[in-house]
Amino acid sequence: MTTEIATADLQAFTEDWLDWYRTQEARLADPHGFLAITGLHWLDDRPQRFPDAPGAWHTGRDGVVVHLDDGEELVVDGTPVRGEHRFGVLPERGGVDAAWGDAVIEVAKRGGHDIVRPRHPDAPLRTAFTGTPAYAPDPRWAVTGQYVPFDEPRPTTVGAAVEGLEHVYGAPGRIEFELHGRQLSLTAFPGQGAGQLMVLFTDATSGVTTYAANRVLAVEPPAADGTVVLDFNRAANLPCAYTDLATCPLPPAENRLPVAIEAGQKIPRERGGSSAEIPAEVTAAGNPFPRPAHS
């Protein structure tokens, strides 16, 4: 009976991980996901035209402005716009997606700079995507830690995948945990949902079997007693692991772990990884993400 329960638990754990993996891949391979980006254009006060977007773009004290020529049109929040359109001042790590035919023109602010980043479904990186290598899921890499909140969020400046760019986060606390008999900790940043946390890190596998610059781990809100689960099986690549057209943050220095985290996603094929390293659990389950349309 014990073996049967353990087997059932392992099967449920693996199925949950597969759901997570498929979601990651589907988001990446979305027609307007990060693999669809065709350019990273930095704006200044000089009007500029780009080969993969309509209009002439510039920015200044009043924010981003585009001047569309006759016959050019964008759709912003469901409304067609022509001529001059003002996007206004964008918040850091915020942005607007404007539709242009079957493409999306992302207008955003990253590291204090306004950018235009077109996303085209037929981008070669997207249409050639075959999946991300990963370690097979293993419950031993789901570690219980203790969240230690700071008295107040600590402004933390980190580097970026783009040289010279910096990101600033308000770190609310750190997570302490034990792994391989070692006491470790990770500075946590705010996550996407209410109370959620995000951890950027590298480890002894970085640059060997996993992407050298960073991986990210989403952490559910701490329990009432401060406990959290660090499921390193869900350590994910950031977009910069696939494309140079991303502005991803790098981990703070204290998040460079001196142990090997042999779990989660590996070096993508796009950076020299092997598609043969996609776990058998994934290949046995069939296509993990909607195959990109070649258009």
pLDDT digits (tens, 9 = 90+) for 4-54: 446 778 999 999 999 999 999 999 999 999 999 999 999 999 999 999 999
3-state secondary structure of 85: strand
pLDDT in tens, 148-173: 999 999 999 999 999 999 999 999 99
Q: Are 204 and 257 in contact (CB under 8 A)?
A: yes
154 vs 288, residue with greater confidence: 154
pTM of the model: 0.89
Residues contacting 103, CB < 8 A, separation 6+: 32, 52, 53, 118, 119, 120, 121
Helix (H) or strand (E) holding 228: strand 227-231
Phi, psi of 145 (to 5 degrees): -125, 180
| Residue 143, C-beta contacts closer than 8 angstroms, at least 6 positions apart | 177, 178, 179, 229, 230, 231, 232
Residue 142 scores a pLDDT above 90:
yes
Write down the pLDDT at residue 293.
Answer: 40
282 pLDDT above the threshold of 60 = yes
- Please report, as a single letter, which amino acid is at residue 277: E
Check pLDDT > 50 for residue 80.
yes
CB-count burial class (<10 Å; 0-12, 13-18, 19+) for 75: middle
In the prediction, which pLDDT does 283 show? 67
pLDDT digits (tens, 9 = 90+) for 47-79: 999 999 999 999 999 999 999 999 999 999 999
Of residues 277 and 135, more confidently modeled: 135
CA end-to-end span of the chain, whole Å?
53
> With pLDDT > 90 as the criterion, what percentage of the chain qualifies?
87
Highest mean pLDDT among 187-201, 263-277, 281-295: 187-201
